[in-house]
Chains A and B, each alone.
Chain A
Amino acid sequence: MAHPYMPNSAAESKATMMAAVGVADVDELFEQIPEDHLARESNGLAPGVRSEATVRRLVRGLIDRNDDCVANLSFLGAGLWQHHVPAVVDEIVTRSEFLTPVWGTTSSDFGRNQAWFEYASMLGELLAMDFVGLPVYSWGSAAGNAIRMAARLTGRGEVVVPASISPERLMVIRTYCGLVGGNDPISVRLVDFDPASGTVDVAALGLGPDTAAVYLETPNHLGVVETAVAEIAAAARANGTETVLGVDPISLGLLAAPGDLGADVVVGSTQPLGVHLHAGGGVGGFIATRDEERYAREYPTLQVSVAETTRGERSFGMTLFHQSSYGSREDGNDWTGNSVYLWTVANAVYMSLLGPQGFAELGRTILANARYAAGRVAELDGVTVRWPDGFFKEFVVDFSATGRSVADINAGLRAHHVFGGKDLSTDFPDLGQSALYCVTELHTADDIDALVTALKEVLA
């Protein structure tokens, strides 16, 4: 029986081709492969399932066995956040035209290139940065690439990172920075944050003659908005150090634009801008700078520039392609390849829908909801919120005084269909039995009531 995915699996098509090629058996076409290279053992795969209904039932069975963040009330964030994804976003990114291109030409995949340019343009407005590359795999990857850009720009070999950073992201950064013994490793120096405020200041960084970059995030991984970014960026500049700033783009209707704070290279996650969680498959990382040649020439990404056709129409093409690995192999900047370009279309639709007013209102709603939730949670006996005045959408809830572990509390909450905040007790032992709670525009008063009620029962 022919397979529905393969038109030429129909016997007649195959026969036509075999006659034209002049073979009686397809095996004759594999004459390049020596006999003793062919697989000796079975690959163990079952026979194919030609019925879509049967395949769907099987895969759906696995998917629907999961407990998701819609059927449950989730307070998980920590670098991947559940925000509203407008219906128009899903409608556009599932269009076959956006789903299937591979490369194309500037004329035939024009619409995709325009969407990419719109993505970079609108993100540039949020960031107050003029040069924006196409995204890389994730926020951590973007930070890693940006730190490597800084090392090449400065010829130095150290990056300073506040210890409040996400351990998940730090592992990625360490990988990108390399190992001693290899060529040009970058040493990662962690510096303490102020336990009273959750933030860092200039003095904490200990900028030195070999400091290529300061890598700072605001809000930081523990949710706190850094208050000394501008001072740090100024001190870094005076030291010949690049300031690489990680931001949550959804905060930027409310919080100051990184370009206005003096950041040199801005990175962050594209996921909040209209991409679902996908168990971590929704991540993407952007890199942006001022439009200065010294930065532009260090990008490892592909970039889309506005240009013209030979007839004078507006068009879009890749700028600085030659410095990518496609153009220069090992002499290019890091490497490029498939990334998360479909998500840039989602991001473009999202930013178009939100507009300036949408981002401003969204920022205010998230801040207000998160502060409201923190206040309610802090009313519980033995429960405190660290840094209650400094955060945007995530906050550290300390359960130490309840005598219960976060793991235990979260297990209890699951029975109430609540996913408690991310357990910080292993990664940040100084914070005791703490959890990072994320509250967004999606949470309602009823949701916070439900959390408080569940916590009361679990802690009772």
Chain B
Amino acid sequence: MSELRNYHAAVWDEPLVMELSAPGRRGNVPPAPIAELDPATALPGAVLRQAAPALPEVAEPDVLRHFLHLSQETMGMVGISLFGTCTMKYNPRVGEQLSGRDGMAELHPDQDDSTLQGLLEAVHRFDLMLRGLSGMDRFVFQPGGGAHAAYTHTAVTRAYFADRGELEQRREIITTAQAHPCNPATASAAGFDVITLPVEEDGYASLDALKAVLSDRTAALMINNPDDMGIYNPHIKEWVDAVHEVGGLCFYDHANFNGVMGRLRARELGFDACMFMLHKTFGVAKGGGGPAVGAYGCSEELATYLPGPLVEATEDGYVRRENPRGVGRVREYLGNLNQVVKAFGWLTAMGADGIREAADISVLANNYMEVRLLELKGVTKAFPQMTKRRLEMTRFSLEEYTAETGITAVDVQNRMGDYGIDAFWLSHEPWIVPEPFTPEAGETWSLEDIDYWIDVLAHVLEEGRSDPELVRTAPHQQVVGQLDGSSLDDPEKWATTWRAHRRKSGRG
């Protein structure tokens, strides 16, 4: 076991920026107008603001230092982050540098195509690369995240069946309990009924269960594979065939592509559409939750219904064209192209050999972790009867440890933070495994970091046995202590703004 770091998070006791305010200070001064104009003479009084907004008055250096302090009070990937299903990987800084250039950051989407040829070429070339990886016929980058790509699929599905006059009949979208919540949620938001298949003893839903719910009401199947337990449904082709037999569409949520990059192609498995997350698998930073891209790809048949505009290569250069029978837009413009350009750079650097090796390393590292983690007393693996090797993730459980010590997975997660370890992934709702945790090593984290992560877990589990209070009350070396969540859902106390908090706490 390696020696654990004597870590402590930065603690600045940083006030809110609103509390740094001093009358008359300025942080930024806008340019003077070209010619003075009194707003009262230019617009009706009723539309003008009467009282100035109660924003802070802070000088520029103090704003900088305030947010530097807040950044230092944020661990992000400066520590070790093995957050399963989010595939925490290195984000090449060259991409950040390049996307900050005027030729990316200062482009307007309403510019003429002739002025955007480099950008449109990058988009088109990246589309071709993803077509190669998936076998799909066309990708769009408008969805602003994986969930938004799932929503795009529900909108495309809706348009497809409306076009065939079957929308009133095709009411049902089928998914599984192990699918990400965005699949049922977006299906419902798009006006479909949701059928969720339970996970059975092999770790996935059964083909029989699927067949039992298929009918002429079926609109689509939305499913991930492997799921976020590293379990691969080997019957997926039969699933796809069965859905197609009743006339439904099949969407492959490729959130967990990292372990199978270069090995599987969604279209060859029969899927009509798939989704890649550029902010996970393709090296783009998470940003705490975006800006992200859910690259949505589909067959030629479904491409008719894609949101526009679509980018085309023509003899006269790259152009954007509307897609007249498509769903219009799922959001404005072509998408977060700044992120597409970064992903293009990442995939160029990785190449065919690189992504294959990344998948190999991801699966190897996970299996290495599994060997070491299962040596720890109190750690078990979900679906142990499924003996085949997991892919890039394994769902573990601390159920036995919790029964022994009363210490939960969340307690352990908190205490690991005291050693510089970012929160591990537990599980999406519903928790089909008690006290779950799901690390994903991916290709980014070195063997030494993986060993350190496991050593910290081992140490924390022992701490929980010798000094349970220490773990239960963790963290102790973090920016602040454990959250008391009791006020969060109380309308008398919740406050998403400082003005609400001041009013509710009688300080207004």
Contact = CB atoms under 8 A, between A and B. Distances in A.
Is chain B a partner of chain A in the same complex? yes
Contacts of B129: 44-45
B348 to A, nearest CB: 6
Contacts of B506: none
A219 to B, nearest CB: 9
A358 B55 CA distance: 10
Contacts of B115: 66-67, 72, 414, 419
Nearest to B193: A183
A367 B42 contact: yes
B144 A137 contact: yes
Interface string B348-364: 11111111011011011
13 contacts: A3-B357, A7-B446, A29-B367, A94-B96, A183-B192, A218-B47, A276-B106, A278-B107, A279-B104, A306-B495, A338-B146, A343-B287, A368-B36
A229 to B, nearest CB: 8
Contact of A171 (B108, B133, B190, B328): B328
Contacts of B58: 352-353, 355
Contact of A64 (B101, B167, B269, B482): B101
Given A66-B107, A80-B332, 12 more contacts: A16-B447, A29-B367, A38-B264, A59-B345, A66-B115, A98-B288, A315-B483, A332-B181, A337-B182, A352-B55, A360-B52, A371-B37
Interface in B382-406: 388-391
Nearest to A8: B361
B28 A358 contact: yes
Contacts of A171: 328-329
Nearest to B389: A29
Contacts of B347: 45
A337 B148 contact: yes
Nearest to B167: A181
A48 B349 contact: yes
B64 interface: yes
Interface residues of B, number: 222
Interface in A278-300: 278-284, 291, 293, 296
Given A108-B9, A130-B503, A49 B16 contact: no
A258 to B, nearest CB: 11
A35 to B, nearest CB: 10
B14 A111 contact: yes
A67 B497 CA distance: 41
A97 B34 contact: no
Contacts of A201: none
Interface string B489-504: 1010011111111010
B119 A342 contact: no
Interface string B123-139: 00000110011010000
Interface stretch (B72-80, B206-214, B296-304, B457-465): B72-80
Interface in A236-281: 252-257, 260, 276-281
B288 A17 contact: no
A30 B56 contact: no
A337 B145 contact: yes
Given A102-B83, A108-B479, A21 B364 contact: yes
Contacts of A361: 29-30
B122 interface: yes
Interface stretch (A206-214, A319-327, A397-405): A319-327
Contacts of B26: 355, 357-358
A37 B252 CA distance: 14
Contacts of B148: 137, 337-338
Given A102-B286, A278-B107, A114 B185 contact: no
Interface in B472-489: 473, 475, 478-485, 487-489
A365 to B, nearest CB: 4
Contacts, number: 763
A318 interface: yes
A131 B117 contact: no
Contacts of A384: none
A191 interface: no
B332 A138 contact: yes
Given A99-B96, A305-B495, A371 B42 contact: yes
Nearest to A22: B371
A302 to B, nearest CB: 8
B328 A174 contact: yes
A122 B98 CA distance: 31
Contact of B329 (A65, A110, A140): A140
Interface string B189-210: 1111110100000000000000
Contacts of A282: 338
A125 interface: yes
Contacts of B501: 306
Interface in A54-83: 55-56, 58-72, 74, 76, 78-80, 82
Interface in B47-97: 47-50, 52-58, 60, 63-64, 66-79, 81, 83, 86, 88-92, 94-97
B75 A330 contact: no
B299 to A, nearest CB: 15
A308 B263 contact: no
Given A76-B110, A338-B290, A5 B350 contact: yes
B105 A111 contact: no
B77 A14 contact: no
Contacts of A319: 488-489, 494, 496
Contacts of A99: 76, 91, 96, 285-287
Interface in A337-365: 337-343, 345, 348-349, 351-365
B429 A329 contact: yes
B466 interface: no
A352 B49 contact: no
B186 interface: yes
Contacts of A311: 480-482
Contacts of B388: 31-32
Given A26-B363, A55-B349, A74 B108 contact: yes
A429 interface: no
A59 B344 contact: yes
B237 interface: yes
Given A3-B354, A101-B76, A372-B35, A32 B391 contact: yes
A66 B339 CA distance: 17
Contacts of B162: 179, 181
A379 to B, nearest CB: 14
B352 A47 contact: yes
A30 B263 contact: yes
Contacts of B432: none
A60 B100 CA distance: 11
Contact of B364 (A17, A252, A373): A17
A32 to B, nearest CB: 4
B317 to A, nearest CB: 11
Contacts of B187: 330
